């Protein structure tokens, strides 16, 4: 039985597909958790989200969780848009990826004719073309607790100890910063803050970081490295999967 985790794809479909190719889905005991931030910044946000949706719908081996970028996108679609999604979507890269050229031109014309309603027009168009996908995204979990691990996009309130789930607000689960290291009751596997930043070493771009105690950070700075690192857990052995081999990160007694 193997557990696989990856995170922070950020619209890099080629890197996402390369990571998925390392996972042994033919083993029925394989489970794979995608810990958020599939979208935003790269060119193929829709493609990455659709790929994850297809995997999760086809097999109960795959669980997709939300990151802060999905949370912002969903707030725009279904909430109050407190962070103003369209302003933060630089050059509309993410939004554009959900439309064909003809659909986008039609939407632009509608927005130009009614500038004050432009945000509502974008929301309506996204839901009209992708309601099933976006409704599914809205129902994704923020965190998973396993027997030995906590899987989360950003982190938890570790000061709450055994009551961490009750004591951790949703915005901390998806947006905790800075990263925490050190000992905790369970292994915490998170993305959000890049492995390179936590390690203080840019050599970790495209790789995973383990603090040797209870924390793994699996954001590989994909926008620069074009690599989505994969963590594999087999029993008490934690490994980084690479195209050129396997690196053991932690082996518990």
Closest CA to 44 of 73, 17, 6: 17
Residues 190 and 143 grouped into a single domain: yes
pLDDT at 166: 95
- Chain segment 181-237, per-residue pLDDT in tens: 999 999 999 999 999 999 999 999 999 999 999 999 999 999 999 999 999 999 999
Residues 34 and 133 grouped into a single domain: no
Residues 176 and 241 grouped into a single domain: yes
Residues 243 and 159 grouped into a single domain: yes
pTM of the entire structure? 0.96
Residues 57 and 169 grouped into a single domain: yes
Do 208 and 217 form a contact (C-beta atoms < 8 A)? Answer: yes
Residues 227 and 217 grouped into a single domain: yes
Q: What mean pLDDT comes out for the span 97-109? A: 95
- Chain segment 128-170, per-residue pLDDT in tens: 999 999 999 999 999 999 999 999 999 999 999 999 999 999 9
Q: Which has more confidence, 98 or 114? A: 98
Residues 158 and 171 grouped into a single domain: yes
Residues 91 and 148 grouped into a single domain: no
Alpha helices by DSSP H, listed for the chain, are 13-20, 45-58, 68-78, 85-88, 93-96, 101-113, 118-138, 164-167, 170-175, 195-199, 222-225
pLDDT at 82: 86
| Chain-centroid distance, C-alpha 209 | 17
Residues 144 and 181 grouped into a single domain: yes
Which domain covers residue 40, as residue numbers?
Answer: 3-75+138-251
Residues 62 and 83 grouped into a single domain: no
Dihedrals phi, psi of 187, to nearest 5 degrees: -70, 130
Sheet holding 237-242, edge to edge: 62-64, 31-34, 3-6, 230-234, 237-242, 245-251
- Chain segment 156-166, per-residue pLDDT in tens: 999 999 999 99
In the chain, the number of structural domains is 2
Residues 146 and 230 grouped into a single domain: yes
């Amino acid at each position: 039985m193997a557990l696989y985790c990856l995170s922070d794809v950020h619209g890099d479909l080629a890197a996402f597909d390369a990571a998925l190719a390392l996972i042994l889905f033919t083993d029925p005991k394989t489970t794979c958790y995608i810990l958020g931030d599939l979208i935003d910044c790269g060119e193929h946000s829709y493609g990455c989200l659709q790929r994850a949706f297809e995997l999760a719908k086809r097999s109960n081996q795959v669980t997709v969780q939300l990151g802060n970028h999905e949370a912002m996108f969903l707030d725009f679609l279904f909430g109050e848009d407190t962070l103003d999604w369209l302003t933060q979507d630089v050059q509309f890269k993410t939004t554009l990826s959900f439309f064909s050229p003809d659909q986008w031109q039609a939407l632009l014309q509608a927005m130009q004719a009614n500038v004050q309603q432009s945000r509502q027009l974008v929301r309506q168009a996204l839901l009209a073309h992708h309601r099933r996908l976006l409704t599914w995204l809205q129902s994704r979990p923020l965190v998973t607790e396993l027997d030995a691990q906590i899987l989360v996009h950003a982190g938890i309130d570790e000061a709450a100890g055994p009551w961490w789930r009750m004591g951790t607000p949703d915005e901390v689960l998806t947006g905790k910063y800075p990263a925490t290291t050190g000992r905790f009751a369970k292994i915490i596997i998170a993305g959000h803050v890049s492995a390179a930043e936590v390690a203080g070493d840019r050599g970790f771009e495209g790789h995973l970081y383990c603090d040797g105690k209870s924390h793994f950070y699996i954001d590989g700075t994909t926008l620069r490295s074009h690599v989505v690192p994969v963590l594999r857990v087999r029993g008490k052995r934690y490994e980084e999967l690479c195209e050129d081999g396997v690196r053991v990160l932690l082996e518990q007694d």
